[in-house]
Amino acid sequence: MVVLFFDLFRGNATVPRHWTVGPYRPDFLNSGNSLRFYFQFPHLTPLRMDQPIQHYYNLVEETLSDYNIHPPTARGQQPGQWNLKLGSASVWVDVFQSKDANGNLIQNGYFQVLAPVCDVPVNNQHLFTKELLEINHSLYGVSFTIFKEKAYIKSIRELQGLDKSEIRATFDRVGIYADDWDDKLRQKYFAFAEGGRAPA
């Protein structure tokens, strides 16, 4: 059973039929012009693609052209991979289909944008990971994640319903956040390795 909270700031909300509305929670009612709704639903079902995978490849490459990036020069080693540079941030883009237990492709696919930010420091890891969680609370549509001792800014969503405006917004968010936080985190957690002081 999954419990979900979301805040509605403007407009109207429609509750999907597979969700059940939970009991009224006055302690979660926000002040001002926003309301908080509380739902429970039994399982998460990935959205099925309504277009072939090549359609989403084309959307990504059309968006790259809007940035004056020649798509063939950005392609990775495998279909559905692109390597970009936005500001000081390296940005890795993946469009891929899921596989079933037998390794066969199925009609569920994902759009992922990932930017490496810095290594996880050897010292003060508890402070570092706590700060990443606190930063996540202020980010929009992306989050910090850690994989194999490296910290990344990451966004991932189903391919169903993806359009160029969302691809562009995701590129901008991941690139801007990574470009902003790489210097801040390296200066704070790694400067002491070059003679500075570790964060207290």
What local confidence, expressed as pLDDT, does residue 14 receive?
Answer: 46
Per-residue pLDDT reduced to its tens digit, 128-178: 999 999 999 999 999 999 999 999 999 999 999 999 999 999 999 999 999
Asked if 5 contacts 27 with a C-beta cutoff of 8 angstroms, the reply is no
Task: Identify which of 167, 164, 160, 156 has the alpha carbon closest to the alpha carbon of residue 50.
Answer: 160
Write the CA distances from 7 to 13, 37, 84, 131, 165, integer angstroms. Answer: 10, 6, 33, 24, 23
What local confidence, expressed as pLDDT, does residue 137 receive?
Answer: 95
Q: pTM, whole model, 2 decimals?
A: 0.74
Structure token digits, residue 50: 């309504």
The domain spans of the chain are: 2-41, 53-194
What local confidence, expressed as pLDDT, does residue 26 receive?
Answer: 43
Please list, in sequence order, all residues whose beta carbon lies within 8 angstroms of the beta carbon of residue 162, skipping any fewer than 6 positions away.
Answer: 56, 59, 111
Q: 57 pLDDT band (50/70/90 cuts)? A: very high
Residue 23, pLDDT > 80, answer: no
Please list, in sequence order, all residues whose beta carbon lies within 8 angstroms of the beta carbon of residue 160, skipping any fewer than 6 positions away.
Answer: 47, 48, 49, 50, 109
Of residues 47 and 91, more confidently modeled: 91
Write the CA distances from 69 to 39, 75, 77, 86, 182, integer angstroms. Answer: 42, 11, 17, 11, 23
Distance (Å, whole) CA 162 – CA 73: 23
Distance (Å, whole) CA 178 – CA 185: 10
Architecture of domain 53-194: 2-Layer Sandwich (3.30)
Residue 52, pLDDT > 60, answer: yes
Task: Identify which of 38, 30, 28, 45 has the alpha carbon closest to the alpha carbon of residue 6.
Answer: 38
Computed over every residue of the chain, the mean pLDDT equals: 80
Percent of the chain with pLDDT over 70: 72
Dihedrals φ, ψ of 125, to 5°?
A: -65, -35
Distance (Å, whole) CA 72 – CA 82: 9
What local confidence, expressed as pLDDT, does residue 31 receive?
Answer: 47
What local confidence, expressed as pLDDT, does residue 36 receive?
Answer: 54
What local confidence, expressed as pLDDT, does residue 4 receive?
Answer: 53
Percent of the chain with pLDDT over 90: 58
Distance (Å, whole) CA 114 – CA 116: 7
Task: Please report the beta strands in the chain, taking only residues with DSSP state E, as ranges in sequence order.
Answer: 2-8, 20-21, 35-41, 81-86, 89-99, 105-119, 143-147, 150-158
What local confidence, expressed as pLDDT, does residue 17 receive?
Answer: 45
